[in-house]
Every structure is written in structure tokens, then in C-alpha cells.
Amino acid sequence: YPIELEASIRPEAVILGRISDAEAARLADMPSAIYLLEHPEIDDIYVCPPVRYPDGQFCVKMGGSHTAARDLPNAEAKRQWMAGDGANEQLRVMTEVLTTILPDVAFQSFEMKPCLITDTSSGLPFVDQIDDGLFIAAGGNGHAAKSADAIGALVAGLVVNNGEWTDTELGQSQFGARR
């Protein structure tokens, strides 16, 4: 079911800072946060509390919008970013930012991962019913890591209620899929 949305895709690098189980327990109440930076290489970042990854290790995750990032124009450019090692080029700056905002955390190691950000024309995620029985939740605009539960709850409400918007605080028109 092809649908073209008013959205673009850009690359982003994510850093995982590995920490001990004891450090993860100490940081158990750490909130997720988004920061706008005055930094020559990074516009903004999000940081998430420690999570145990499939390898059994705890990591603090931080993503950052690099000032030089440009939209990826096609599927091949997206594949190349995800399969390549371009994210590693940001290890120095991402480590610097993460250890600056969390100076008291005892990081054991750092690992970079590539990520893709979907930016919508509205700046808000698209949460909508686009056809009978077909729903969409797309476009985190670089903030979905922090907002995924809330975005998921919005689209789940639409699905469960057969397309009826039930959120009493957020207006449905703000989240409509723009084509």
C-alpha cells in the first residue's frame, strides 16, 4: 500500500555508554531528557536511563543531531548509512557530550550505532488512520526515543477504537498524516 508522506529522513548517530550493574542500580531513577545545545557539532541530544541490552550489559543511550547531517535522498543512501561505519566518526564528540552531561557516571566503554530520523512537515509524529483498518505512527522528529510510549498509546487508542480519537488533551488534527 504505497503512501507518500510529507517527511524526510536524516542520519543520526547514537552512543551507548556501557556501565556496571551497580552503576545502573544507582541511576535507576534517572529520567529521559532532551537538551538543546550550544555546541559547534551537535544541535540537540536526547539521553535515556540505563537499559539492559540483549547481551546482558547495561548501557545509557544518547542520540544527537549532528549539525552537518543532511537528508538522505533515497533508499540506497539510507542502506549505506545503516550498514556503514559513518556513525563512528562521531565517537569523539558524542563521548565528550555524554561525559559532560553525566560527569559522575562511571562509563566502562562506548559504542556508536547508526540511526535514522524521520522528520515530518508538521514537526509532530503522524498518528492517523489512513484507510479502513490501516493506521500509521511515523515521524519521531528526533524525539521518539523519549516519546515512544506516548506515541504508541495514541495509535493504539485509534486502533482499539476503530479510528476514533480518544485523547482528551491532544487534538487529532495536529497529528494527521500529511501527504
Q: Tens of pLDDT along 83-95? A: 999 999 999 999 9
pLDDT digits (tens, 9 = 90+) for 101-124: 999 999 999 999 999 999 999 989
Cell numbers that stand for 73 in this block = 535522498
The model's pTM: 0.79
> In terms of Cα–Cα distance, which of 110, 30, 19 is closest to 56?
19
Which residues share a beta bridge with 49? none
Q: How many residues does the chain have?
A: 179
The stretch 33-61 carries a mean pLDDT of 92
C-alpha dist (Å) from residue 143 to 34, 65, 118, 162 = 8, 11, 10, 27
Tally of CB atoms within 10 A around 107: 18
Of all residues in the chain, the percent with pLDDT exceeding 90 is 63
pLDDT digits (tens, 9 = 90+) for 115-164: 999 999 998 999 999 889 899 999 988 777 667 888 889 999 999 998 99
Distance CA 144, CA 124 (A): 10
Q: Residue 166 has what pLDDT?
A: 86
At residue 132, the 3 state secondary structure works out as coil
